[in-house]
Amino acid sequence: MGRRLLNMWFGVISLFPEMFVAVTESGVTRRACERGLIEVHTWNPRDYAYDKYQTVDDKPYGGGPGMLMKVQPLSDAISQARKAAPLGTKVVCMSPQGERLDHSLVTKFHDWGSIILVAGRYEGIDERVLQRQVDLEVSIGDYVLSGGELPAMCVIDAVSRMVPGVLGDIQNAKEDSFAQGLLHFPQYTRPEIVDGDRVPDIVLSGDHAKIRRWRLQQALGRTYERRPDLLQSKNLQKDEIELISSYLKDKGLDGSVETILNKIQVGK
């Protein structure tokens, strides 16, 4: 039962395991499954509900709208998944109350080598399941979804991209924009002109040093304009500030170094 080093094992607890074909049957994650670079296994709490109606939900004590996932079927599904998982596999519950998913958390999950993702439905999960069987709660952002399945698939997709071989030789996860901590530069493909809109001359120049410099300038400038929060922890070098300055001046905006530093430190 030896998992080849570097590959990733995903266990999923869900009342809708069929949703996970979105990762197992499409795109790079499908190829990763076919080549054994990732494994996605599902356990359905419904299969561990033994009453006539296979009940998996119940009313909240203390009242309130909606239903909760009841303890026993969910708890048994998690226990079964743990038995099949590599020893020491952590259990992560997708939850609006969780820590926000970002690139560093994705990297941490990849380093674990295996993970069990719990996708909840209804209005939530009995707190004792979280206390007894869950190591960490993770949210994908401050908006309300109908369940934890789409967030779990976000984790599977993002972590899978870090597994060597999943992206092929061309692409390198380390060059992905969030690995760099910057937004991506603008990209263009044929044709050269679309309704009079030209691809920038530099990109067509064939001067790769210049193109690299322009892309860095665009990545820094866009990050400064759209996500200044990403630059706060980056400790920008003088030449990087200069690139932001020239980016802003090219657009007819205030490119003074003082304004730039101020916006980055204050954060917006």
Show which residues are catalytic: 96, 123, 161, 176
Work out whether 144 is an interface residue with ligand 21W (CB under 6 A).
Answer: yes
In the complex, least distance from residue 24 CB atom to ligand 21W, rounded to whole angstroms: 20
Backbone region of residue 117 per phi and psi (left: phi > 0; alpha: psi in -120 to 50; beta: other values) = beta
With beta carbons less than 8 A apart as the criterion, state whether 74 and 55 touch: no
**One of 11, 17, 73, 148 touching ligand 21W (CB under 6 A):** 148
Structure tokens at 253: 């905006």
Work out whether 259 is an interface residue with ligand 21W (CB under 6 A).
Answer: no
String of b and e for 195-226 (b: at least 16 CB within 10 Å)? Answer: eeeebeeebeeeeeeebeebbbbbbbbbbbee
Structure tokens at 215: 């892309």
Structure tokens at 27: 């795109």
In the complex, least distance from residue 136 CB atom to ligand 21W, rounded to whole angstroms: 12
In the complex, least distance from residue 16 CB atom to ligand 21W, rounded to whole angstroms: 12
Nearer to ligand 21W, 69 or 203 (CB): 69
Nearer to ligand 21W, 42 or 245 (CB): 42
Structure tokens at 37: 């670079």
Within 206-245, which residues bind ligand 21W (CB under 6 A)? none
With beta carbons less than 8 A apart as the criterion, state whether 102 and 158 touch: no
Work out whether 165 is an interface residue with ligand 21W (CB under 6 A).
Answer: no
With beta carbons less than 8 A apart as the criterion, state whether 43 and 15 touch: no
In the complex, least distance from residue 99 CB atom to ligand 21W, rounded to whole angstroms: 10
Work out whether 14 is an interface residue with ligand 21W (CB under 6 A).
Answer: no
Work out whether 45 is an interface residue with ligand 21W (CB under 6 A).
Answer: no
Structure tokens at 163: 């597994």
Across the chain, which distance is largest between two alpha carbons, in Å? 71
CA dihedral 167, 171, 177, 181 (to 10 degrees): 90
Nearer to ligand 21W, 15 or 94 (CB): 94
Nearer to ligand 21W, 28 or 67 (CB): 67
Nearer to ligand 21W, 96 or 165 (CB): 96
Collapsing DSSP to helix, strand or coil, 98 comes out as: strand
Within 84-123, which residues bind ligand 21W (CB under 6 A)? 94-96, 120, 123
Work out whether 255 is an interface residue with ligand 21W (CB under 6 A).
Answer: no
Work out whether 1 is an interface residue with ligand 21W (CB under 6 A).
Answer: no
With beta carbons less than 8 A apart as the criterion, state whether 201 and 189 touch: no
Residues at the site binding ligand 21W, with contacts judged by CB under 6 A:
94-96, 120, 123-124, 139-141, 143-145, 147-148, 151
